[in-house]
Amino acid sequence: MAETGKRGSPTAAQANEGTLITRGERKQRTRTTLLDAALKLMSEGRSFTSLGLREVTREAGLVPTSFYRHFRDMDELGLALVEEGGLTLRRLLRDARKVGVPAEDIIRGSVRIYLAYVREHHLQFGFIVGERLGGSPAIRRAIRLEVTHVTNEMAQDIQHLRLLNRELSTSTLQMICGLVVSTMLNAAGDILDLPAQQPKQEQELLEHYVRQLRLIFLGATQWREKT
Amino acid sequence: MAETGKRGSPTAAQANEGTLITRGERKQRTRTTLLDAALKLMSEGRSFTSLGLREVTREAGLVPTSFYRHFRDMDELGLALVEEGGLTLRRLLRDARKVGVPAEDIIRGSVRIYLAYVREHHLQFGFIVGERLGGSPAIRRAIRLEVTHVTNEMAQDIQHLRLLNRELSTSTLQMICGLVVSTMLNAAGDILDLPAQQPKQEQELLEHYVRQLRLIFLGATQWREKT
DNA sequence: CCTGTTTGTCAACACTTGTACACTGAAATT
DNA sequence: AATTTCAGTGTACAAGTGTTGACAAACAGG
């Protein structure tokens, strides 16, 4: 139980980076190598359903049959990608919660931060946005679930932070947040399609979505629940 | 020049449906057979980029090499599908323009009509919605263009019909219509994912999007152009 | 130290894929 | 009536696909 107590004969596994690693760690490492390979291939303008098992393992620097050590088939890998992407989405909300809302212009500040976050995780967002309405039913369902969760969390946050200075039924709040989330996912799709770094077009895009969000929240402040 | 004046020896072409048809007509007929085959395959939960040339011709009841008589490659077929879908979208607007807006509850009536229209053309909408943010860059660009056109037409219609009882700059109007169109495309994706005919869930979906649109137009009536 | 477990490799399989080329037969043109 | 055009067929091939089974090496735990 002394965890490689002898330290004799450094294996290839240990030699890599000089860090000792257990078998499980190593397995998870190549697992994420596969996931990253799939994301990278998709980032070159392909849809997930068009990816082949061999293609992915090749990109990952593995032999095709190694794939089965990690996933039963491509669909299972896809679901893993959805889970990863869901984590990224939730982390976004969590960070926003921690940092608090930008002081001066709440909406513009939030959109700016959001777009930067999307850029930073463009592979995950590319996958989520691209497959949300496009790919296989199983993956689409899984993404829809993640997006619903995020929407609910956002609704809770808005309620707790009293971000709208008024009371709205939770169902109305969810309806509003659903609109916000859809709009922001559209925004993600748009920046990721922007060729290279075009600060001009990027600015226009920012303003566009700032205005759309303003409109939504303006509607929210005026909303009357029908009795 | 007398266009098959002799009427002798009825060919296979003429025998079909008893209608005399020219060569060009016949070509276009199998062309749409190919397009329909692609749409049908996609309706079974696949993305366009995952379709193969052979697969499509097989579904169309043709031999693979016939494909080249109509399209250079699958990408060209995809662009043809976008064009077809764009026509369907514009026809929707044109019909709405002709019939006029529903009298009593404008928004609910419009959404109801829209959803029925989506159901009626589910193959086209499935393609447009699914590939809008998902597929190959070329197709995505083409769809984006069509959607922009539709958005602009809608903005013009609203302006001419004085549907909002106030004046808004065209850029603001386009921003609003962009939000409306995106929302309705999301709605299309949602009904098409609805399993079979679930009138209950369908009703919920209708109400959901009616509320979202109400919110948007409520915001629109309150919007103040910043000077 | 020794033994079972497990990640990754290699070779091979039965298919499917996109594309090239020669060909057929009927419509179009002369 | 004779000739040209061309949508659709048939055959063939190199390259790529998912999956199987046996195997190597290194870790894990007794």
What are the pLDDT digits (tens) for A155-207? 999 999 988 888 999 999 999 999 999 999 999 999 999 988 899 999 999 99
Is residue B35 within 8 A of residue B57, CB to CB? The reply is no
**Residue B90 burial (C-beta neighbours within 10 Å; 0-12, 13-18, 19+):** middle
Q: What average pLDDT does the segment B157-179 reach?
A: 93
- Mean pLDDT computed over B4-28: 55
Q: Give CA–CA dist B185/B183, Å, rounded.
A: 5
Say yes or no to pLDDT of B146 above 60.
yes
Q: Which residue is nearest to nucleotide C26 (CA to C1')?
A: B11
More confident residue, A133 or A20: A133
A29: left (phi over 0), alpha (psi -120 to 50) or beta: alpha
- For residue A25, the distance in angstroms to the closest alpha carbon of chain B comes to 33
| Rounded-to-integer distance, Cα A49 and Cα A138, Å | 11
Enumerate the H helices of chain A as residue ranges.
12-15, 23-43, 53-60, 74-99, 106-120, 122-132, 137-161, 170-193, 199-222
| pLDDT bracket for residue A211 (50, 70, 90) | very high
The distance of B33 to chain A (nearest Cα, Å) reads 23
Give the tokens for residue A152: 């609910």
pLDDT at A5: 31
Tell the residue number behind the tokens 């566009």, with chain if given. A208
C-alpha distances in Å from residue A16, one per residue of A24, A154, A181 = 15, 42, 42
H or E stretch covering B148: helix B137-160
pTM of the complete model: 0.91
Cα A100 to its chain centre, rounded Å, is 20
Nearest residue of A to residue B174, measured between CA atoms:
A208
What does the buried/exposed string (b/e) look like for B57-68 if buried means 16 or more CB atoms within 10 Å of the residue's CB? bebbebeeeebe
Number of helices followed by number of strands (H, E) in chain B: 9, 0
Pick from A50, A144, A223: which is nearest to B218 by CB?
A: A223
Q: pLDDT band at residue B15, thresholds of 50, 70 and 90? A: very low
Chain B residues with beta carbon closer than 8 angstroms to that of A131: 134
For the cut 90, the answer to whether the pLDDT of residue A13 exceeds it is no
How many Å from the CA of A89 to C1' of C18?
40
Other CB atoms within 10 A of residue A175 CB: 24
Q: What is the DSSP string of B58-112?
A: HHHT--GGGGGGT-SSHHHHHHHHHHHHHHHHHHHHHHHHHH---SS-HHHHHHH
> Which of A74, A218, A221, A225 should be substituted to probe chain B, the one whose Cβ sees the most B Cβ atoms within 10 Å?
A218
pLDDT of residue B138: 97
**B70-118: pLDDT as tens digits:** 999 999 999 999 999 999 999 999 999 998 877 789 999 999 999 999 9
- Residue A7 pLDDT greater than 80, yes or no: no
Residues with CB under 7 A from strand D: A 1, 4, 9, 11-14, 22-24, 52-55, 58, 64-65, 67-68, 73-74; B 23, 26-27, 30, 62-66, 69-70
Per-residue model confidence (pLDDT) at position B224: 95
Indicate the pLDDT class of residue A18, thresholds 50, 70 and 90: very low
Question: Residue A216 and residue B211: Cβ atoms within 8 Å?
Answer: no
For residues A149 and A65, the answer to whether their CB atoms sit within 8 Å is no
**CA distance linking residue A12 with residue A7, whole number of Å:** 13
Closest CA to A53 of A80, A30, A74: A74
CA of A26 to C1' of C7 (A): 9
Higher pLDDT, B6 or A224: A224
Question: Do the Cβ atoms of B46 and A133 come within 8 Å?
Answer: no
Q: Report protein residues in contact with nucleic acid strand C, where contact means CB under 7 Å.
A: A 23, 26-27, 30, 62-66, 69-70; B 1, 4, 9, 11-14, 22-24, 52-55, 58, 64-65, 67, 73-74
pLDDT at B109: 96
pLDDT in tens, A51-103: 999 999 999 999 999 999 999 999 999 999 999 999 999 999 999 999 887 77
**Angle at B19 (CA atoms; ends B16, B21), nearest 5 degrees:** 90
Q: How many CA atoms lie within 13 A of A179 on its CB side?
A: 30
Q: In whole numbers, what is the pLDDT of chain A averaged over residues? A: 90
| Residue among A215, A118, A147 at smallest CA distance from B225 | A215
Residue nearest to nucleotide C20 (CA to C1'): B65
pLDDT in the model for residue B17: 41
- Spacing of B74 CA from C20 C1' in Å: 18
Q: Interior CA angle at A163 toward A161 and A167, to 5°?
A: 95
Nearest-by-CA chain A residue for B179: A212
User: Which of B134, B183, B222 faces A47 most closely, judged by CB atoms?
Assistant: B134
- From B179's Cα to the closest Cα of chain A, the distance in A is 7
The DSSP secondary-structure symbol of A72 reads: S
Among B120, B109, B107, B133, residue whose Cα is nearest residue B185: B133
Is residue B213 a contact partner of residue A175, using CB atoms and an 8 Å limit?
A: no
When pLDDT is averaged across residues A116-131 and rounded to a whole number, the result is 98
| Spatial CA neighbour of A168 closest among A213, A212, A216, A209 | A216
Report residue A17 CA to chain centroid gap: 29
Residue A10 has pLDDT above 70, yes or no: no
pLDDT at B3 over 90: no
- Establish, for the pair of chains A and B, how many residue pairs have beta carbons separated by less than 8 Å: 109
**Chain B residues with a Cβ under 8 Å from any Cβ in chain A:** 45-50, 129-137, 140, 144, 172, 175-176, 178-179, 182-183, 186, 189, 193, 208, 211-212, 214-220, 222-223
